[in-house]
Structure 1
Amino acid sequence: MQRLLAGGLTLSLGLAGCAQQPPALPTNPIDLAATCGVVAAASEREAAGAKGDLSADAQARILHYAMLYASTGDTFDPDKINIVSKRMPVLFDGTIKGKWQTLRTSCATAFPAAQIKQPVLPAKPVDAMLQCYVLTDFLRKALADQGANYGAAANAYGAFKDQLDTKMTPVLRAAGLHNGDTLKQKRMDELAAATKLGQPPAVIDACEKKYGA
């Protein structure tokens, strides 16, 4: 998985506002997700200050835009994550040099799920557990790819995933879901559904409240 973009924002935010023409979001779906990812990264850096790594939650909120593009249909397409991630550095300078703050509202309209801070888990236990499990595992892997500074957060996700695994096994069996292609596809479907519930850290918080030890 491509590294997230947030680390490159420290020096570039000082250029905001140089462009005279108000920026507009691209219509291409890939560039739309990538541009809003850049705007999210700039917003997180602005809020956090110029120095240091962004929090794991901030990184997840930035990644959410690529995840939403990857969840456009009924299932999750991992290849689309890399497509958006590769476009973000390409679009970075052109976005940040303009009045990027004005794009926040447009991005909120284009990706309403990215604004949801109090998500509601599915009522059906098998769906709720699977969505919590696959999202936790996805974020664990994504943060592990960001290097040692995110190791503690990745390990915390891993610990929660293990808790879910123990609780989920009998539920999966009762639903007739066993290891194999059917369960693999179900996981991808549920990851797309979990992505659409709201901001990933908020979804994980809801999962921990419901299924945490």
Structure 2
Amino acid sequence: MRHRFTAALPLGMLLLASCGPHKLALPDNPVDRAATCAVVSAASSRASAPSVAGGLGFDAQTQIIHYAMLAGTDDKGLSAKRTAAVIARMSELEGHITGGKWQKLAGPCNQAFPEVKKVTGIALPASKFDAQLGCYALGDFLTRSVQTSDPKGETTLATYSKLHRKLDAPIGAGLKERGASKVEKTQLLKDEALGRMTRLGAPVKVMEMCTSRFT
């Protein structure tokens, strides 16, 4: 599969590829940029823990998916379609990126997506319901998106599921009060809340605040 990808590259990049690891740069396209940084994050995690069995750990996976979430978020909230586009693009770009000097992209990725490494100064929404809905949406998204055999990760996901069950009733009541009785309207509000939470900082740290406050 890799030769098909490189065959479409400009001649200059082919020459670089033939002379060892090639230089890389962050793409201007937002989907490709996020996918590139997600691949770099995955490569960095594998390099730092090459003997990990069963894939990457929970924290590493949430960091990787955060790039896709950020690219999928705008002022209207998180778009599942845009987020999925980033994830799909990762597999298409992986061979080219990991075959190059991907380590040099770590700094540019940190600058392009500072929220991924943000673990302090995070504040949940001031409104109790907004915070509840955001925690509910983020926990649900991570539970559905991240698969792990890491015992620590499994425990963390179980905590998210517990929070989800606890918030079911207040979320349902709050949505009803806001006239969101149809699936389309409730999903719109959840997507808006998830987008806000995505931009707060590292999802694991945001969820730590959620579980501390609401469980």
For the pair 1:211 / 2:214, whether they are aligned, the reply is: yes
Q: Is the 8 A contact 1:141 1:154 kept in 2?
A: no
SS in 1 for 2:27: coil
For the pair 1:123 / 2:123, whether they are aligned, the reply is: no
For the pair 1:27 / 2:49, whether they are aligned, the reply is: no
What TM-score do you get using the length of structure 1 for normalisation? 0.80
Q: Is the 8 A contact 2:159 2:211 kept in 1?
A: no
Structure 2 partner of 1:68: 70
Structure 1 partner of 2:12: none
The worse-fitting range, judged by mean Cα deviation, of 70-79 and 191-200 is 70-79
Q: How does 1:46-125 map to 2 (within 5 A)?
A: 46-52=47-53, 53-118=55-120, 119-125=122-128
Larger Rg: 2
Q: Whole-Å Cα distance in 1 between the matches of residues 175 and 92 of structure 2?
A: 46
RMSD: 2.3
Percent identity for Structure 1 against Structure 2 = 33
Q: Is the 8 A contact 2:38 2:65 kept in 1?
A: yes
Q: Is the 8 A contact 1:75 1:189 kept in 2?
A: yes
Structure 1 partner of 2:46: 45
Residue 177 (structure 1) shift: 4.7
Q: Is the 8 A contact 1:126 1:175 kept in 2?
A: no
Letter in 1 for 2:46: R
Letter in 1 for 2:30: P
What TM-score do you get using the length of structure 2 for normalisation? 0.80
CA change 1:57–1:179 in 2 (3 A) is farther
Structure 1 runs not aligned, ≥5 long = 1-17
Q: Whole-Å Cα distance in 1 between the matches of residues 214 and 148 of structure 2?
A: 28
Q: Whole-Å Cα distance in 2 between the matches of residues 147 and 47 of structure 1?
A: 18
Residue 110 (structure 1) shift: 0.9
CA change 1:173–1:28 in 2 (3 A) is closer
The runs of at least 4 consecutive aligned structure 1 residues that moved more than 6 Å come to: 147-150
Structure 2 runs not aligned, ≥5 long = 1-19
CA change 1:95–1:163 in 2 (3 A) is same
Letter in 2 for 1:194: M
SS in 2 for 1:114: helix
